[in-house]
Structure formats: structure tokens, C-alpha cells
Chain A
Amino acid sequence: MALPTTETVECDILIIGGGMSGCGAAFEANYWGDKLRVVMVEKAAIERSGATGEGLSAINCYMGQRYGWNTPEDFVQYVVNDMMGLAREDLVYDVGRHVDSTVHMLEEWGLPIWKRENGEYERIGRWQIPIHGESIKPIAAEPARTALGQGNLYERVSVTHLLTDANDAGKIAGAIGFSVRENKFYVFRAKAVVITTGGASNVFRPRSVNEGLGRTWYSVFATGSAYGLMIPAGVEMTQMEHRFVPTRFKDGYGPVGMWFQYFHARVTNALGEDYTITRAAELDKYAPYGSAIPTPTPLRNHQMYLDLRDGLGPMYMRTEEAMEKLAEGDPAKMDQVRNEAWEDFLDMTISQALTWAAQNIAPEETPSEVVLAEPYIMGSHSGEAGAWVSGPEDLSPPEYFWGYNKMTTVRGLFAAGDGVGAAPHKFSSGSFTEGRLAGKSAVNYVTGNPDAPSLSNPQVTQLQETIWAPLETFEKFSGASTSSQVNPHYITARQGLARLQKIMDEYAGGTSASYTVNGPTLERGIALIETLREDLAHLGARNLHELLRCWELAHRVWVGEAHMRHLLHRKETRWPGYYYRSDFPDLDDQNWRVFVNSRYNASNNSWDVFTKPYINIVT
């Protein structure tokens, strides 16, 4: 099988990924870089791609500075505590001070935001505002698409690898990928690259493994490519041991924030007890974080986990109780609450509405089960895995600043959204904002570094052979078996995914291991995942769709390995409720209030894992 043709795209700035942060980057880079060529590449269509493609029922990151609701300082205090003491204060502050402008523009572009009678935004919680957000993604994508202009948006192209400069491995030169619609490679040569691709679902074995495999909490198409692209390129990563375990309505994974914060519902166990009361004393072990209000997300998980560990499930969200209280016996009020309750799912997690309908659950009558889901590794929402990036010049100490805001340790390579580590609680609006910050910064970089990078032709050719190998392998060996699914010369992407998920679930603290690890289980898991990484050279694919799945798997495997190596390094239990180290069961602020960073070295296939200091800026 001959390699297909290659289209080389020359540009000043390449944005990889067209989710919320990618759209923010495209919008901003095209403003400041109106004389530059800015190109975006996306594996799907930007109107519905990325984690917000299905829609959202709330914007969870809004300061309300114009109303005097919150300052960026307040936001940093809240975020650092929710993360049990670990977040880059400069990066969190930077998102906080800019994010309101993103929200106000989204409203101008057509996003319906709930209002109070005085015209102010309605509030669900301190940082959360409710929206009619079914179309938030097409609304965010429209100005990005217009600003990019025709010929600068490459959709249905999957990027597999970053390219570094032929004469300087510490400098970015572009990226390479393939079309998922026709036999064709794309090589992008760029002076600056902004990586905005997603965090990772489906690294851990999910609770539903048949048809429901697609009903992961984070998007099933978030394949950890932010990390899978950066790690092999030698980018320094941070907090890859961090994970998010969402408490969600069972199986459909519908959101609970509206129920807890707006409807004030409680969760009760088999005995009718509320774990926030019966397990209150547990929080004292985790002072000062546990004694702050609100209780950090992992500790609320931890309280529920203890009930489940003790066999006190099922856990029920008492929707009927909350709705009765809100309606106060008034049928019109009940109609309104019912309408709001269903919108919460229909705007963003439609499967949960279908699950309720199929289980005959009317929330005003019947409570609904909640569960701790499988772990997810991400840099947005409540996750903080990602690249170690420079902060902004006016906020960051020298240890956190190296010339350009959001630039990684590879020169000219910027990150935003799930790709930025130690900068959690961005959600949709903050990710768009971080994309804007990275987009402007990339224009600054290209202005100061206008020379085109050099691509190495042997590097490109070798990568093309690697990218195409699963198709070649399938064709070469298909005659060795009467089954396309069982062949001694290859495994399919789906089979490799099952193997990854089994390793992660059993050795890295998935649901079947009760989120618990220790040093020896992690060392065993790392050994198993190393052989899985070797076996990725023996994937088989029948067509471009399966080739896409092969490279998604490759990215997920990098995430899994990095996660375990970081878990092994951090010798404490920092986030009970997300994971437990049975050999280091306590939180140890004295030794471990530091960031865990890593760098993979491709030349000798080795990892350096080390710590970086926590520097207080606001707190």
C-alpha cells in the first residue's frame, strides 16, 4: 500500500482543536494578528465539536465584577481550597480577571442567559449562572469561523503528532495528521502552535461497558490528545496525577450542580441519612481545606464514598423533597420547577432525560440515584492535569514566567483549556478565555520571532509511515485469519482500549479498585502499560475511521502512563474522594504542597518526574 498524498499548509499560527478554547484562540489571534495567517485544524465540525458540543445548562465560571459579586482574588481563594491547596494562583487569577468579557460577548452573540427582574444575571451559585445553553457551542464557534475566514479552517483532520524544528528540538515547527474523509496527510508548518485539544475520557474502564461505553461523563470524543500530543514532544507536564471523579445521576451522568445549589436537594443513603451530616467529622482530618466553606469537591465525594464503602447505598438525590419545598403547594410554581429541572438535562445531558423517562422517574414524585463515576483526567472543569505553562508577566514570579503567557516549555508551543495544568475551574467560559489569552500571546511571539521554522523531511516521512501503519498492517496480515477481529499479527483499536481500561481500572485506582492504589500496584500497572505502548506498533485498522480510533487510543495510552507515573511520585493522599494511596493515606502539606511535574525523553524512552514549588501570589 503506497502512502497517500500530502498537503503542506504554511501558516503563522496553527490552532489545534476547535472546542471552546480553540474558538477563543481563533477569535483573539485573528484580531491582533490581522496580518498573519491563522489556521485551525479540528477532527470534527466546530459547531458541535468538543466537550460543550451537546450544550450546557449553566456557565460555571463568571465573576460578576460589574455587579460587585466577586473579585479575581475571591476566585483564587475558592479554587485553591477546592483543589485541596494546589493550583497555580497566577493562572487562575488570569482567567478570573478576564472571564466576564467572554460571558458578556457570548450573550451578545446570541446566548440566552437567565435574568432576574432587575436585569442582572440569575445565579445558581457563587460562580454559576444558568443559561438556555443548548446552542452554546455553535454560538461560540460562529465568530471564530468568520474570523478565520475561508480556507483557514481544516475540519475532519485528525492531528497525531507535533513537529519540532529540524535544528532545535526545543522549538515548535508545526503538526502532522491525516484526513478522516480521504486518503491524505496534512503537514502544518507554523511559527507558533496553540494546542487546545481535549482532556481524557475512557482511559479508565467506565461503569457502562457495552452500548453505554459512549455515555462517559466527559465527552467520549475527548481522547486526551492535549496530553498525547505534548508528552511525546518532550513538553513539561504538571499535575498529571490529578483526576476528577464526578458525582452524577447514575448511568445517564446527568449534572447535579443545579440540584445541590439551586434546588437545595440533599442526598440520602439506605438508612435515610445525609452523609454531609453523619460524616461531618471526617472533614476535620483535612484542615484547613476541609474546614472551609464550601467543602472541597473531593471531600464531598469522600463522605459519600465512605457510605458506599460501608454498604449503605444506594444513594438517592431527594428530588421529590426539594421540589415539594420549592413549589410550596402552588401548582404553577411546581410547573416552573419541573420545567427548570428537565431543562438542566435537555440542555446538556439528554441521555439522563431519556433514562428518567424510561425508568418512569418524575422527579417531583421519585428520588433518583446518584453515583461516583469513573475517573477522568482533564485540565478544565475540576481537573488540573496539563502542560506547565508560563503565566502573565504582571502576575507571575520568575519561576512561573518565561516570556509569553500560556507558552509551554517548548518555545512557540502554547496551550489552553484542558491542555493547561494547575489551572482548574475554567469550565466553558474560562476555557474560551484561556484560548483568547493564548491566541494573543501567540501573536506576540510570532511578532518577536518571525522566522519560519525548519521541518525535517526524514522526521515527516518517518511519522507518515507510523501514522499509516495500522492500515498497512491490516492489509498485510488479513490473510492470516478468517476473522478480522482475531489475528496474531494485530489488535484493533477497540481491543487496545479495553486493555488500557483494564490496566487503569485495576492498577491505577478505578472503580473496581475502589479508587485505591499503592506503590507496587502502580509499578505493576506501569510495566503493563509499557508493553501496551509497544503493542501500539501492531494495531490494525480497516479504514480511516478505525485509523482515527487507533490514534485516539495512542493518545489515551500516553495519558494513562503519565497518570500512573505521577501517582507513584506523589507520596500522600491529596484528594481523598478522587483517589487513595493506601501506603500514604494522609494529606501531607509539609512535604507535598508542591506541583508534580514530568518530562518524557523520546531519545532514550525515559521519564523524569520531579516537583516544582508552590508560590503564593494571592493567598
Chain B
Amino acid sequence: MPTYVDPNACNACQGVHEGPLCVYICPNDLMVLDSDLDKGFNQEPELCSECYACVKLCPQEAIHVRGYADFVPMGAVVQPHRTQTTEGDGLRWEVRFRDGREFEFTYPSRTRPAGTVVPYENFTEDRVGDLGSQGLAGEALWLGVTELPTVK
């Protein structure tokens, strides 16, 4: 079972989010709330791509990955921890080999805090006059060349 939930760490996101965040984010509708345990649960581990979306989002770091039994030997750990980098939000990855060797890697994820983007800021394209043109919204600002190329 690729992702699994540590029952001692999961609190079903009580007080943080209405319903567990893993259920909210899973792109393949795998994570569900086990109503008997009141904990997150992967209902179809064979269709888990180990994308780590739930692992990265879990406020309790309660979700882990045990590699696919059909080709991943046991005993390794790859676990992300949210962190700050000099460039902004990032992840610190804890990597532990089967033979016990340990590595740590930290990479930035985004240079700007989530929720701070203002769409169309300083765009100059005229919504009526330029609708028939080939140019896209914001290209006067962002294309990087003054004229949109075409085949002559």
C-alpha cells in the first residue's frame, strides 16, 4: 500500500480543515475517512502513484509511503518536511537507504507566498479592440519580444 496513515499521528485534520486534507487533495480519489477509526485511509493503494500530494499537505506529517511491494525492497524512507529556504517555501527531504545510509536534500518550491498573485496585473490588452488579434492576455508585458511572430 503506497501511502499509509500513521493512526497515532492522524487527527482527521480536526480544527484545521473540514474533513481530512488528504481526502481533499488526492488527485485519484484514493484517500477517504475511515469512519470507524476517524482516520485517513487509502482505499485503493494499487492505483496510488506515490505523487505525495497528501504527504506534503498533511499538517500532522501522518502520511508516509511504503514503496510498491512488487518492485521496491523494504526498509527505505523518503519523507518530505515543509521548510523555509532562502528563496521561499520549500521542502526538506529525508532520504534513508535500506542499508541505513542517510541523505538530506532541501529545495525551494515557490518564490512567492501562496495567495498573493493578482491576475492580469498591469495587463494592457484591450478586451474589445484586441479580441480579434492573435495576441494573448499579458503578452505586451510578458512575451519578451515586441512583436508576436508570424509566418511571412
Determine chain B's interface SS by DSSP, over half rule. loop
B74 and A440 contact, CB distance less than 8 A: no
B38-77: CB near A (< 8 Å → 1, else 0) gives 0000011111111111001000000001011111111111
A134 to B131, CA, bound (A): 34
User: Which residues of the partner chain B approach A31 to less than 8 Å between Cβ atoms?
Assistant: 119-120, 123, 125, 127, 137-138
A28 to B138, CA, bound (A): 9
User: Is there a chain A Cβ closer than 8 Å to B81's Cβ?
Assistant: no
A211 and B137 contact, CB distance less than 8 A: no
B143 and A346 contact, CB distance less than 8 A: no
User: Which residues of the partner chain A approach B99 to less than 8 Å between Cβ atoms?
Assistant: 360
User: Is there a chain A Cβ closer than 8 Å to B37's Cβ?
Assistant: no
Q: Which residue of B lies closest to A105 (CB)?
A: B142
Q: Which residue of B lies closest to A47 (CB)?
A: B25
Q: Which residue of B lies closest to A338 (CB)?
A: B103
Given A142-B117, A219-B49, A358-B101 contact (CB < 8 Å) = no
Listed A/B pairs (16) with beta-carbon separation below 8 Å: A27-B119, A32-B131, A66-B144, A104-B142, A112-B111, A134-B56, A211-B70, A214-B48, A220-B28, A220-B49, A221-B49, A354-B72, A358-B76, A360-B97, A394-B151, A395-B150
Q: Which of A48-56, A159-167, A309-317, A527-535 contacts B (4 or more CB under 8 A)?
A: A48-56
User: Which residues of the partner chain A approach B56 to less than 8 Å between Cβ atoms?
Assistant: 134
Q: Contact partner of A45 among B27, B78, B87, B150, CB < 8 A?
A: B27
A126 to B98, CA, bound (A): 38
User: Which residues of the partner chain A approach B26 to less than 8 Å between Cβ atoms?
Assistant: 44, 48
User: Which residues of the partner chain B approach A617 to less than 8 Å between Cβ atoms?
Assistant: 151
Q: Which residue of B lies closest to A447 (CB)?
A: B131
Known: A53-B51, A342-B105. 9 other contacts (CB 8 A): A45-B24, A98-B139, A211-B70, A346-B107, A354-B76, A358-B75, A362-B97, A393-B134, A545-B29
A393 to B135, CA, bound (A): 12
A342 to B88, CA, bound (A): 20
Given A98-B139, A354-B78, A362-B101, A211-B29 contact (CB < 8 Å) = no
User: Is there a chain B Cβ closer than 8 Å to A351's Cβ?
Assistant: yes
Number of A-B contacts (CB under 8 A): 249
A545 and B144 contact, CB distance less than 8 A: no
Give residues in A with beta carbon < 8 Å to B.
27-28, 30-32, 34, 43-45, 47-50, 53-54, 65-66, 71-73, 93, 97-98, 100-101, 104-105, 108-112, 132, 134-135, 138-139, 142-143, 146-147, 156, 180, 208-216, 219-221, 251-252, 339, 342-343, 346-347, 350-351, 353-355, 357-360, 362, 392-395, 433, 436-437, 440, 443-444, 447, 545, 548, 617-618
Give residues in B with beta carbon < 8 Å to A.
1-2, 24-29, 32, 43-53, 56, 65, 67-78, 80, 87-91, 93, 95-99, 101, 103, 105, 107-115, 117-120, 123, 125, 127, 131-132, 134, 136-139, 142-145, 148-151
A45 to B78, CA, bound (A): 24
User: Which residues of the partner chain B approach A73 to less than 8 Å between Cβ atoms?
Assistant: 151
Given A212-B68, A354-B72, A339-B53 contact (CB < 8 Å) = no
